Amino acid sequence: MKNILYKSLEESGKILKEYMDKDFAVESKGIISNLVTEVDKRSEAKIIEIIKSEFPSHNILSEEIGAINEDSDVKWIIDPIDGTINYAHGIPICCVSIGIEKAGEIVMGGIYNPFSEELFFAEKGKGSYLNDKKIKVSNESVLEKSLLVTGFPYNTGNNPNKPVEVFSAFVNKDIPIRRLGSAALDICWTACGRFDGFWEYNLNAWDVAAGYVILTEAGGKVTDFEGKKYSVYNKEILASNGVIHDSMLEVIQNAKK
């Protein structure tokens, strides 16, 4: 499966690069700021074509077409462009993300930014890699010395998880925070030590499946906002180097009260 995963990432990455400087159709999905482009659809079609040519019986869960259920315990979880808003505005902070779930467990994942030519990969029990070089999370132990990254849900204004209040709680501790616009890359950059922690609300499985295995195999920790066991089908994620995890949980929980 690794070879097909790599081929899918690389071929869809070529599509992203080909269309970046061209005119392409852009639509909204329900909410005006939730975009889909014709390049998302072309990337997705190419990925599914490659997977199905080799594994016709495998299940698919992909952002634009939804679920293709077959009689298999393997599911490919696909985001053809994570960071579509960035892509639609010509900002090269975006990627293709593909996770593989087997018997309910994420066992492999790859995330590829064709513009920076960075390909993150992990297989359960075998470590995480960036362009074939092994990576690990940072060892920063002091929250106030950390560099964090986050994103905001489309319904920030009326979200019961209080994303603005949580963000403000971190900012009020004078902690530097970035917002890249791609949850998959946020997780990868935490996995390789560029960031020390990441949190976000209202994500879907295709946003986080590949990143989840990449981060955990790099030595990081992932939970929900209560510190409980994480599932990629959760809507909230706290991912960190593990050392500052409890400190981040405390800030989040206090801000939500």
What three-state secondary structure class fits 251? helix
What three-state secondary structure class fits 32? strand
What pLDDT does 84 receive?
Answer: 94
Supply the pTM of this predicted model: 0.94
Q: Estimate the crossing angle of helix 245-256 against helix 163-171, to 10 degrees.
A: 130
Indicate the average pLDDT of the chain: 94
Number of H helices, E strands in the chain: 7, 15
Does the pLDDT of residue 103 top 80, yes or no? yes
Read out DSSP for 215-248?
Answer: HHHTT-EEE-TTSPBP-TTSSEEEEE-SSSHHHH
Does the pLDDT of residue 159 top 80, yes or no? no
The bridge status of strand 59-62 relative to strand 26-29 is unpaired
What pLDDT does 257 receive?
Answer: 79
Lowest-pLDDT range of 20-24, 28-32, 54-58, 230-234 = 28-32
Rounded mean pLDDT, 180-195: 98
What are the structural domains of the chain? 2-135 (3.30.540.10), 143-256 (3.40.190.80)
**Strand runs (DSSP E) across the chain, as ranges?**
26-29, 31-37, 59-62, 66-68, 74-82, 95-102, 105-113, 118-123, 128-130, 133-135, 148-150, 177-178, 197-201, 221-223, 236-240
Does the pLDDT of residue 160 top 90, yes or no? no
Rounded mean pLDDT, 136-155: 93
Does the pLDDT of residue 33 top 80, yes or no? no
What pLDDT does 217 receive?
Answer: 98
| 30 — pLDDT class (breaks 50, 70, 90) | low
239-249 pLDDT, tens digit per residue, is 999 999 999 99
